[in-house]
C-alpha cells in the first residue's frame, strides 16, 4: 500500500489458496482485478482504492461469505455491481465511490446484518434506491450522491433506526420528500440538495431530534419553512436556498441558539427576519433574493405598507462612476480579454486606478433568471480577503451588464512576466530571476490554499492560469478571477459552469465528468508551476498535436537520465543553469517534482494545496535560507 507501485496486478494473486487480505491502496496500478479474486472462499479485506484500475468487479469476491471490507474508491471500474454482493452477510464496509460503475443498485443490501457504511457516490448508477435499504439494522452512512438516479426517494428510506448520515445530492431526484414517520431518531445529517424535489418540507422532520445538518438547497420545494426545524435541539446548519419557499421565517428561529449557518436565499419569503444574535451575525447573502424580507440582517428597515424599492448599495456611486468610465473607454484602456470578459483600466475621481472587468453578456433566454444567482456569487467573492488574492472592491449588475471592480495590479500578470518579456510589465531581466519566480509560486499556492481550506464553504477557483496570477507593486502574486467562471454561468440551468478552465490547464478528468473541484485547481496550479520552472507555455506547437506542457515534461522525465531532466529547466534564469549554480538547479528540480505530483492523471494522487505549500517551503531558495538558520534549527527540533 502507498508504495508508488505501477503496472497491473498479477492474475495469479487471485488463485492464492490462503489469501485473506489484499491491500494495494494509493499506488499507480492499472488494468483490471484478477477475475478469480475471492474464489478461494477466504478473502476478508480488499482495498485497492486510489489507483487507475478498470474493468469489472470480480463476481466471487464473497464466495466464502467472509468479505468484511470492500474498498474500491477512486478508480475507473466501469461495469455493474455484481448482484451477489447484496447477499454477502459478512460485509461491513463498502466504499466504491468515484468510479464509473453503472446499472442498478442491487436489492438486498438492506438485509445484510453487519453493513454499517455504504458509499456509492460519484458513479453512474440509475434506477433508484432499493426500498429494502430502509430495513437495514446497522447501516449508519448511506451516500449515493452524484449518480443519475432520476427517480423518487422510496417511502421507506427513513425507516432504518440506525441511519445517521444520508446523502443523495445531485441525483436528479424527483417527487416529494417522504414523511419521516418517527424513523429518523439517530439521523444527524441529511443532504439531498441539487435535485428536482417538489412539495413541502415534511413537518414531522421535528421527530429527527439528533439532526445537526439539513441541506435541501437547489430544489423546487414550496410552502412554508416548518417551525419544527427551529425546535430541533442540536441543529447547527440549515440550507434551504434556491427553492420556492414562501411565507415568513418562523420567529422561533430567533431562539435557536445552536444555529451556526442558516441560508434561505432566493426563495419567496417575506416579513421581518427574526431578531437574534445568531441571525444578525449572518452574512446578508444568506437572505438575498427574497424581496419581501426586511430587518437588520438584510440591511433594511420594515416600514408599514408595501415595499417596492430595493436597497441601494453604499458603494453605488463608486460603481456607477466606474461604469461610466468603462462606457467611454477605448481599446487603449483594455488591460486584457479572456473567456469570461474584458478588463479595463479606470481612474476614479480621486485619481485612484482600479481594474473593471466587464463580463460577457448572457444569452437572451438566461438574462431574467441570471441576476439573483449573480448577486449571491458576488456576495461570496466580496467576502474573501487574503494578501495573495486580488480584492473585489464592488460590482454593478443590471439586466444587460455585469461589472466587477478590482484592485489594480501595476506589474501585469505572471503570463506577461514569463512569456511576453515586456519590461513595462515586469518582463525582461525579472523574468529570469529565480527568487521572484519562487515567491510567485508560493504566493499563488497561498491564495488558492486559502480558497480551498479557509473559506466556508470551500471555493474552487475553476480557472487557475498564468494570466490570472497578477503582480502587485512589490512583485507579489495575487490570484484573480476566482469564481468568475461560475459567475458567468450563474442562472443558466444547474450546470457547474459553461467555462471550467482554459485549454492546457484543464484537468484530464473533466473530459468525462464535466465537474470541477479542488483537485481540478491543483492540476491547473501544477501546469502554472511547470511554466515557472521551464519558461515554456502551457501549450506549444513543439509539444505535438493535442499535447500540453504536462505531456512534454512527462516524456522528457520518463527517459530517466539526468541530462533529459535538466533540459526541462529554463536556461534563461539569470545566475542559475547558465552559470552552473547547483543549488538553484536543485531547487528548480524540487519544484518540478511538486508540479508533476499536482498534474497526476489520477485526481486522488494529487496533493492538497496545504501539502503543496509544505513541499514548496522545503525548496526555499538558498539565499533566503541563509538568514534563517535559527528558524531551520527550530523546525528540526519540532
DSSP-derived secondary structure for 278-312: HHHTS-GGGTTT-TEEEBGGGTB---SS---PPPP
Other CB atoms within 10 Å distance of the CB of residue 16: 15
Catalytic residue numbers read: 463
For 47, residues 6+ apart whose C-beta sits below 8 A from its C-beta are 1, 22, 23, 24, 25, 69, 71
Q: Pick the residue with more confidence: 584 or 46?
A: 46
358 is in an annotated binding site: yes
Q: Are 425 and 412 in contact (CB under 8 A)?
A: yes
Name the strands in the sheet holding 334-337, side by side, starting at the edge strand that comes first in the sequence: 334-337, 341-347, 353-359, 402-407, 392-397
What share of the chain has pLDDT > 70, as a percent?
80
Q: Which residue has the cell 431518531?
A: 185
**pLDDT of amino acid 367:** 47
Give the per-residue pLDDT at 562. Answer: 65
419 in Cβ contact with 537 (< 8 Å): yes
Identify the weakest region by mean pLDDT among 325-329, 391-395, 419-423.
325-329
For 256-277, the pLDDT digits (tens) are 888 988 999 999 999 999 988 7
Q: In what order do the strands lie in the sheet with 189-191?
A: 21-23, 45-47, 69-71, 93-95, 117-119, 141-143, 165-167, 189-191, 213-215, 237-239, 261-263
Q: Domains of the chain by range and CATH?
A: 1-173 (3.80.10.10), 193-295 (3.80.10.10), 412-629 (1.10.510.10)
CB 85 within 8 A of CB 106: yes
Q: What is the average per-residue pLDDT within 276-296? A: 84
- What's the pLDDT tens digit per position in 405-462? 888 898 989 998 888 654 444 444 445 578 899 999 999 999 999 999 888 778 888 8
pLDDT score of 316 more than 50 = no
- Average of per-residue pLDDT across 488-503: 49
Integer Cα distance of 241 and 264 in angstroms: 4
Q: How confident is the model at residue 374 (pLDDT cuts 50, 70, 90)?
A: low
The Cβ of residue 592 has, within 10 Å, a number of other Cβ atoms equal to 20
Q: Yes or no: say if 298 and 274 are a contact pair by the CB < 8 Å rule.
A: no
Calculate mean pLDDT across residues 133-143: 94
- Is residue 123 pLDDT above 90, yes or no? yes
pLDDT digits (tens, 9 = 90+) for 442-457: 999 999 999 998 887 7
CB 513 within 8 A of CB 504: no
State residue 490's pLDDT score.
46
CB burial readout 137-174, b (16+ within 10 A) else e: eebbbbbbbbbebeebbbebbbbbbebbbbbbbbbebb
523 three-state secondary structure: helix
| pLDDT of 563 | 65
Q: How would residue 404 be classed by pLDDT, with cut points 50, 70 and 90?
A: confident
Cα 169 off chain centre by: 15
Query: Any idea which of 171-175, 329-333, 576-580 has the lowest mean pLDDT?
Result: 576-580
Instruction: For residue 124, give the C-alpha cell.
Output: 453512474
The CA-to-CA distance between both ends of the chain, in Å, stands at 28
* Average pLDDT of every residue of the chain: 82
Cell numbers representing residue 512 in the block:
468525462
Q: Indicate if the pLDDT at residue 290 is higher than 80.
A: yes
CB of 347 closer than 8 Å to CB of 391: no
d(CA 25, CA 236): 35
Q: How far apart are CA 101 and CA 53, in angstroms?
A: 12
Q: What does DSSP assign to residue 418?
A: I
Res 382: pLDDT: 76
Q: What is the pLDDT of residue 180?
A: 92
Q: Are 495 and 487 in contact (CB under 8 A)?
A: no
| Least confident stretch, 294-298, 306-310, 524-528 | 306-310
In angstroms, the CA 408 to CA 406 distance is: 6
Instruction: Decide if pLDDT at 470 tops 70.
Output: yes
pLDDT band at 393; cut points 50, 70, 90: confident
Residues 86-113 have pLDDT tens digits of: 999 999 999 999 999 999 999 999 999 9
Res 573 pLDDT > 90: no
Digit-coded pLDDT (tens) for 11-53: 999 999 999 999 999 888 999 999 999 998 899 999 999 899 9
pLDDT > 90? residue 65? yes
23 neighbors 49 (Cβ within 8 angstroms): no
Whether residue 395 contacts residue 379, with contact meaning beta carbons closer than 8 Å, is answered with no
Residues 6+ away with beta carbon under 8 Å from 425: 411, 412, 413, 416, 417
Are 622 and 583 in contact, with CB atoms under 8 Å apart?
yes
pLDDT for res 226? 95
Q: For position 477, what pLDDT does the model report?
A: 94
For 620, the grid coordinates are 526555499
Stretch (H or E) spanning 479: strand 477-479
The whole-number pLDDT of residue 516 equals 86
Residue-wise pLDDT tens digits, 172-220: 999 999 999 877 889 999 999 999 999 999 999 999 999 999 999 999 9
Amino acid at each position: 500500500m502507498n508504495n508508488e507501485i505501477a503496472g497491473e496486478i498479477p492474475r495469479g494473486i487471485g488463485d492464492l489458496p490462503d489469501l485473506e487480505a489484499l491491500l494495494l491502496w494509493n499506488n499507480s496500478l492499472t488494468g483490471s482485478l484478477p477475475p478469480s479474486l475471492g474464489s478461494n472462499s477466504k478473502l476478508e479485506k480488499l482495498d485497492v482504492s486510489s489507483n487507475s484500475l478498470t474493468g469489472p468487479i470480480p463476481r466471487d469476491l464473497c464466495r466464502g461469505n467472509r468479505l468484511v471490507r470492500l474498498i474500491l474508491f477512486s478508480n475507473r471500474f466501469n461495469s455493474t455491481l455484481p448482484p451477489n454482493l447484496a447477499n454477502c452477510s459478512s460485509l461491513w464496509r463498502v466504499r466504491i465511490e468515484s468510479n464509473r460503475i453503472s446499472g442498478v443498485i442491487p436489492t438486498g443490501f438492506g438485509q445484510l446484518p453487519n453493513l454499517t457504511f455504504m458509499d456509492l457516490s460519484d458513479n453512474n448508477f440509475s434506477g433508484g434506491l432499493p426500498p429494502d435499504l430502509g430495513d437495514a439494522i446497522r447501516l449508519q452512512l448511506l451516500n449515493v450522491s452524484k449518480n443519475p438516479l432520476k427517480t423518487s426517494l422510496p417511502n421507506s428510506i427513513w425507516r432504518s433506526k440506525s441511519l445517521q448520515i444520508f446523502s443523495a445530492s445531485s441525483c436528479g431526484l424527483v417527487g416529494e420528500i417522504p414523511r419521516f414517520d418517527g424513523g429518523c431518531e439517530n439521523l444527524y445529517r441529511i443532504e439531498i440538495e441539487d435535485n428536482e424535489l417538489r412539495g413541502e418540507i415534511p413537518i414531522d422532520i421535528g421527530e429527527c431530534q439528533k439532526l445537526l445538518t439539513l441541506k435541501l438547497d437547489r430544489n423546487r420545494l414550496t410552502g412554508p419553512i416548518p417551525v419544527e426545524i427551529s425546535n430541533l435541539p442540536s441543529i447547527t446548519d440549515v440550507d434551504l436556498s434556491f427553492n420556492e419557499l414562501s411565507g415568513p421565517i418562523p420567529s422561533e428561529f430567533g431562539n435557536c441558539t445552536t444555529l451556526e449557518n442558516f441560508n434561505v436565499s432566493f426563495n419567496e419569503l417575506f416579513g421581518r427576519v427574526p431578531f437574534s444574535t445568531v441571525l444578525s451575525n449572518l452574512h446578508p447573502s444568506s437572505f438575498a433574493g427574497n424581496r419581501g424580507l426586511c430587518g437588520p440582517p438584510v440591511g433594511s428597515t420594515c416600514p408599514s405598507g408595501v415595499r417596492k424599492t430595493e436597497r441601494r448599495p453604499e458603494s453605488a456611486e463608486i460603481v456607477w462612476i466606474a461604469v461610466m468610465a468603462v462606457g467611454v473607454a477605448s481599446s487603449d484602456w483594455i488591460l486584457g480579454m479572456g473567456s469570461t470578459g474584458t478588463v479595463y483600466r479606470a481612474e476614479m475621481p480621486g485619481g485612484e486606478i482600479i481594474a473593471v472587468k466587464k463580463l460577457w453578456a448572457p444569452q437572451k433566454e438566461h438574462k431574467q433568471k441570471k441576476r439573483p444567482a449573480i448577486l449571491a456569487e458576488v456576495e461570496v467573492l466580496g467576502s474573501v480577503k487574503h494578501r495573495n488574492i486580488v480584492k473585489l472592491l464592488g460590482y454593478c449588475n443590471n439586466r444587460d451588464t455585469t461589472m466587477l471592480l478590482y484592485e489594480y495590479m501595476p506589474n501585469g500578470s505572471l503570463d506577461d512576466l514569463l512569456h511576453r518579456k515586456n519590461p513595462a510589465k515586469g518582463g525582461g531581466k525579472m523574468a529570469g530571476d529565480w527568487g521572484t519566480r519562487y515567491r510567485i509560486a508560493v504566493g499563488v499556492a497561498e491564495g488558492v490554499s486559502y480558497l480551498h481550506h479557509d473559506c466556508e464553504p470551500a471555493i474552487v477557483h475553476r480557472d487557475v492560469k498564468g494570466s490570472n496570477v497578477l503582480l502587485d507593486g512589490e512583485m507579489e502574486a495575487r490570484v484573480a478571477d476566482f469564481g468568475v467562471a461560475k459567475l458567468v454561468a450563474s442562472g443558466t440551468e444547474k450546470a457547474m459552469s459553461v467555462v471550467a478552465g482554459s485549454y492546457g490547464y484543464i484537468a484530464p478528468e473533466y473530459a468525462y465528468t464535466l465537474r470541477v473541484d479542488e483537485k481540478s485547481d491543483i492540476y491547473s496550479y501544477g501546469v502554472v508551476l511547470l511554466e515557472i520552472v521551464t519558461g515554456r507555455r502551457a501549450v506549444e506547437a513543439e509539444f505535438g498535436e493535442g499535447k500540453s506542457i504536462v505531456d512534454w515534461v512527462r516524456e522528457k522525465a520518463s527517459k530517466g537520465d539526468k541530462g533529459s531532466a535538466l533540459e526541462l529547466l529554463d536556461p534563461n534564469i539569470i545566475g542559475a543553469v547558465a552559470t552552473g549554480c547547483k543549488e538553484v538547479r536543485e531547487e528548480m528540480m524540487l519544484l518540478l517534482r511538486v508540479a508533476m505530483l499536482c498534474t497526476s492523471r489520477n485526481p486522488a494522487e494529487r496533493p492538497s494545496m496545504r501539502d503543496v505549500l509544505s513541499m514548496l517551503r522545503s525548496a526555499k531558495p538558498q539565499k533566503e535560507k541563509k538568514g534563517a538558520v535559527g528558524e531551520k534549527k527550530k523546525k528540526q527540533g519540532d
